[in-house]
Chain A
Amino acid sequence: MTTPPIGREEVTAAPTVPVEEGAKDNSFLAWILRILSALVVPAVLVLFFFAFEFLQRRDINKLVQIGTALVVGVLGVWVLYWGMDRLVSALPARTGAGVRPFAFAGPAMVLLGFYLVYPAVNTFILSFQNDAGDAFVGLANFQRIFTETTYLVAIRNSVGWALLVPAAAVGIGLYFATLADRLPRRSEATAKSLLFLPMAISFVGASVVWTFIYRFRPEGFGEQIGILNAIVTGFGGEAVDWLAVPLWNNLFLMVILVWLQTGFAMVILSSAIKAVPEEIVEASRIDGANEWQVFRRIVIPSISSTIVVVWTTILITTWKVFDIVYVMTGGREGTSVVAQQMVAEFFTFNNDGIGAALAVILFIAVVPILVINVKRFRAQEATR
């Protein structure tokens, strides 16, 4: 497909589709129609949802509700788009050709605008306001965050998570993928699915799983049912309340996310390792390289860009971790992280200003990744 260089298409618009793309109707009326066509579908959706809400209030059987939702979600939305398309077709051909893309792409843009663009801008503004949201306080929220211990602890922990979790997940994933690559096919597949399985589990579910690892009972309150303490006491040691040990408790929580994310790293790295040309590996072996040298000098450089992608992906997930801390400790014992602190400020303490400022901090940290994404995308487009 021919993609004109960004920013110039209005001028040069290469007529790939000669029938439609001649002189477009750019009158004022045509623009009104375009905007309207983008708004109709979301407007009808919202209307429907209010009607649905009415059904819900009437205490109608939930399965009937789901059924209705499904029918509307699948058929209704399609019918809406189809109806819009018919309406556009009724317009004069020249006007219609200009309006149709808006009927197709418009609804998505309206939803994106409402659910992502507007709130993001609004959160920025809120972060400069007081907690009631009725006066601007400049950078006061950020100043508090970067001076008060509560928030500094959350930031310190989040940075710790961001440094350690991706490293551990990628490290173990890479080690495992390299080893599994040497196994017969069947054993490799089985071993890999065992490692990958936790990916299907929710963070809340995983937290419950690990409750039974870290569970602690003080002396005299019965046998240890957490496996970690059972092992410790089995060797004659004293049971430890793992989630209350300062600083270390953060590490124990991080282990849960490593457990969840390693499979993801492993699967992607494994396919990258398999793509390393066998000839090169064999040639270097013949030249006398040992296994470690092959790995270090051949495999690692060949898969380095995959490692970077996997690392950043896990980094983003880790940076926004919320559920694990919320369920396991609720942020007590010095285990809070930025995303969880943000929800706590917003819901528990009604500190909307601080909450918004914490969200902004979460966002600013991923801006470099956003820029890289956009750059990489433009480079890809340029080479198409």
Chain B
Amino acid sequence: MTTVTETAHPAAAASSTPPPSRRKPNRFPVYLGVSMIALLWTIPSLGLLINSFRDPRAIRANGWWTVFGEVFDSATWTIQNYQEVMEGGFANAFVNSLAVTIPAVVIPITVAAFAAYAFAWMEFPGRNLIFIAVVGLLVIPLQMALIPILRIYTNVGVAGTLPGIWLAHAGFGLPLAIYLLRNYMGTLPSSLIESAKIDGADHFTIFTRLVIPLSIPVLASFAIFQFLWVWNDFLVALVFLGYNESVRVLTVELSDLAGRGEGTLSLLPAAAFVTMILPLVVFFALQRFFVRGLTAGSVKG
């Protein structure tokens, strides 16, 4: 995000001398503070993870911390909850989430890339004004779009269908995608584009052969952001797909399970982890891009 990078102090780049050690004589308080917070932040998910592998009756009977007395007792651990959860609709919801997410990531990227190229490298009337309007659209709350779009969807029969939510997510993700891609593409050296033109390349060739390959980093950042956003989204899925079983996604399935009370309590931890597994894999595999994607997307409305 430009707003973030621009804050990096310019002098930082200049100081190429290796920084003198920041170590202080007594680091114990530092370790203490850091581990306290890190522990506090980890306990909730750790507890959930432990719970998800416990016997259903045990989950209902006592807290996850009681396992520390019986860690090596094989009767403590089971994957029964995961089996039950998957059979109970989460496998179906997982596929639905994939069916929603993949096109909802790919479509806006393609559409935005073409638009960003036009904004960066083509002349047309009103170009800057339209782009500024796109920047303005960045912060429009999703809530502003829900009622009118759902009314139209219901009228033409697209409510509760996959294509409807793909295009909705594409539309909501476009301002950020266009903004990021255009800013990135605009920084490519114009001599490069010009020389390609002199060699007889048309816009389409320049776009596909030159600009897209050079824009891979920013495309990856946006893809990760949009993936997380769509995968973890609850509001849009709830409104445009709802609880209809053939299309309900993981977040909707999980919220449904959470609302069923004490009876399904033992399934909740495993269910929650099923919804988290893919983002967590992405997190560990692509931590660097992940951070960049999140920070890049931080302006989204």
Q: Are A366 and B139 in contact (CB under 8 A)?
A: yes
Mask: chain B, 25-52; 1 = CB below 8 Å from A; 0 = not: 0010011011101100111110110010
Q: Ordered nearest first, which 9 A-B pairs have the shortest CB separation? A: A115-B171, A49-B163, A202-B232, A108-B115, A105-B118, A104-B118, A101-B124, A122-B148, A119-B145
The chain A residue with its CB closest to the CB of B291 is: A267
Chain A residues in 8 Å Cβ range of B233: 202
Q: Distance (Å) between the CB of B23 and the closest chain A CB?
A: 7
Using A45-B167, A202-B276, A259-B41 as known contacts, say yes or no to A302 and B299 having CB atoms under 8 A apart.
no
Report the Cα distance A267→B130, complex, angstroms.
33
Chain A residues in 8 Å Cβ range of B41: 194-195, 197-198, 259, 262-263
Report the Cα distance A366→B145, complex, angstroms.
15
Q: Distance (Å) between the CB of A179 and the closest chain B CB?
A: 5
Q: Are A112 and B65 in contact (CB under 8 A)?
A: no
Cβ-based interface call for A25 (8 A): no
Q: Distance (Å) between the CB of A343 and the closest chain B CB?
A: 7
Which of A1, A100, A313 is the one whose CB lies under 8 Å from B298? A313
Cβ-based interface call for A21 (8 A): yes
Q: Are A271 and B8 in contact (CB under 8 A)?
A: yes
Secondary structure of the A side of the interface?
Answer: helix
Q: Are B139 and A225 in contact (CB under 8 A)?
A: no
Cβ-based interface call for B260 (8 A): no
Which of A197, A305, A360 is the one whose CB lies under 8 Å from B283? A197
Q: Are B234 and A323 in contact (CB under 8 A)?
A: yes
Which of B96, B98, B111 is the one whose CB lies under 8 Å from A108? B111
Report the Cα distance A164→B218, complex, angstroms.
33
Q: Are A224 and B63 in contact (CB under 8 A)?
A: yes
Q: Are A119 and B147 in contact (CB under 8 A)?
A: yes
Q: Are B163 and A52 in contact (CB under 8 A)?
A: yes
Report the Cα distance A116→B140, complex, angstroms.
8
Cβ-based interface call for A120 (8 A): yes
Q: Are A363 and B141 in contact (CB under 8 A)?
A: yes
Chain A residues in 8 Å Cβ range of B128: 3-4, 6-7, 9, 381
Report the Cα distance A38→B51, complex, angstroms.
53
Q: Distance (Å) between the CB of A28 and the closest chain B CB?
A: 15
The stretch of A61-69, A139-147, A246-254 in contact with B is A61-69
Mask: chain A, 185-213; 1 = CB below 8 Å from B; 0 = not: 00100010111111111111101111111
Cβ-based interface call for B172 (8 A): yes
Cβ-based interface call for B209 (8 A): no
The stretch of A74-82, A150-158, A237-245 in contact with B is A74-82
Mask: chain B, 115-147; 1 = CB below 8 Å from A; 0 = not: 101111111111111101011111111111111
Interface residues on B, range: 35 or more
Cβ-based interface call for B7 (8 A): yes
Mask: chain B, 254-284; 1 = CB below 8 Å from A; 0 = not: 1100110000000011011001100110110
Q: Are A179 and B190 in contact (CB under 8 A)?
A: no
Q: Are B145 and A123 in contact (CB under 8 A)?
A: yes
Interface residues on A, range: 35 or more
A residues with a Cβ closer than 8 A to B are 1-4, 6-7, 9-10, 13, 16-17, 19-21, 41, 45-46, 48-50, 52-53, 56, 62-63, 65-66, 69-70, 72-74, 77-78, 81-82, 85, 89, 98, 100-102, 104-105, 107-109, 111-112, 114-120, 122-123, 126, 172, 175-176, 179-183, 187, 191, 193-205, 207-213, 222-227, 230, 259, 262-264, 267-268, 271-272, 274-279, 282, 291, 302-303, 305-306, 309-310, 313, 316, 320, 322-323, 326-327, 339, 342-343, 346-347, 352, 355-356, 358-360, 362-363, 366, 369-370, 373-374, 376-378, 380-381
Which of B37, B172, B279 is the one whose CB lies under 8 Å from A116? B172
Chain B residues in 8 Å Cβ range of A82: 204
Chain A residues in 8 Å Cβ range of B4: 268, 271, 306, 309
Which of A6, A112, A179, A205 is the one whose CB lies under 8 Å from B132? A6
Using A204-B254, A327-B255 as known contacts, say yes or no to A111 and B175 having CB atoms under 8 A apart.
no
Q: Distance (Å) between the CB of A11 and the closest chain B CB?
A: 11
Report the Cα distance A111→B178, complex, angstroms.
12
Cβ-based interface call for B295 (8 A): yes
Q: Which of B4, B59, B65, B158 has the most CB of A within 10 A?
A: B4
Q: Distance (Å) between the CB of A84 and the closest chain B CB?
A: 9
Chain B residues in 8 Å Cβ range of A223: 61-63
Q: Distance (Å) between the CB of B297 and the closest chain A CB?
A: 10
